Amino acid sequence: MAITLEEVTSFLQQVPEELPGSFDDRDTLLYNVAVGMGRDPMDASELPYVCESIGNKVLPTAATVLARARRPEGSKPQPSLMAKMNFAMMLHGEQRLVIHQPLPAAAQTLVSNGVKGVYDKGEGKGALVVNETNVKLADGTPLFTSSSTLFFRADGGFGGSADGAPVPHVLPERAPDAVCEMPGRVDQAMVYALCGDRNPLHRDPEFARKAGFDKPILHGLCSYGIACHAVVKTMLDYDQTRVAGFDVRFSSPVFPGETQIVEMWQDDNVISFRVKIKERDVISINNGKCTLR
């Protein structure tokens, strides 16, 4: 069933509910490992990310897996606009992140999720849905704001406006200031799935074939974390506290085991970046923007 303008307007007026949440150092350590930290167990720069007796550093993009909330027993979730949309025709278009303070290794949190905007690209052209998640520490202090742009290819033409949709960051036209190769692991999707995304598209070969892929593809948000790993490693001397924002546009699927080449440019407090797949010479992440404190 197609969505209507009235339904969209109603959902945009809905006030997101705030629910309690939490995460611990098992969650943050696992995430760091899942995006490639600690492959060299003698690398002193990466050990603080993977060994709690040495340090408790957390990559900023771990925010994408640390926003789980607990619904009180007996309470019902708010109605969801996306339950009325065609998920079989959905693509994850963009991911954006604002870090209000460096992520701790563990915390009690308050989590709210809501639809920030719905943009109509027209009949046959699809619709964009921007979801926003705000996470605070239990005392109400803002921790991070994460947003995702989902492209529903079959849900355009409901009568809404295309104005106000997120605009991608423009990359510099000069040669990159730095390049970092991030080798992949063939089992990387298996590890990343333990962070919370159990979509069989990333592990089940038969499911992937039905979705149009020769084999399972890597989670887009795993590639997102690998890009952050590369930026923190190459440009920030592993100081993750300098990252204030991290935005990307997804351009092409990645297969587990492929090498992701991260090209970076720095201008004042902005590091622009994109990711190419070495084995296939395609851009998998484009219009990347890392904002520094």
Tell me: the pLDDT tens digits for 202-222? 999 999 998 889 999 999 999
For every residue of 156-172, DSSP letters joined together read --SS---TT---PPPPP
**Strand, coil or helix: what is 51?**
coil
Write down all domains in the chain, each with its CATH number in brackets: 1-167 (3.10.129.10), 168-293 (3.10.129.10)
From the list 263, 268, 260, the residue with the least C-alpha distance to 287 is: 263
**pLDDT per residue as tens digits for the range 170-187:** 999 999 999 999 999 999
Catalytic sites, residue numbers: 197, 202
The string of pLDDT tens digits covering residues 21-61 is: 999 999 999 999 999 999 999 999 999 999 999 999 999 99
Are 235 and 266 in contact, with CB atoms under 8 Å apart? Answer: yes
Q: What value does the mean pLDDT take over residues 270-293?
A: 98
For residue 1, is pLDDT > 60?
A: no
Nearest to residue 81, comparing CAs of 116, 112, 110? 116
Q: d(Cα 129, Cα 117) in Å, to the nearest integer?
A: 6
Quote the pTM value. Answer: 0.94
- Round to the nearest angstrom and report the end-to-end CA distance of the chain: 45
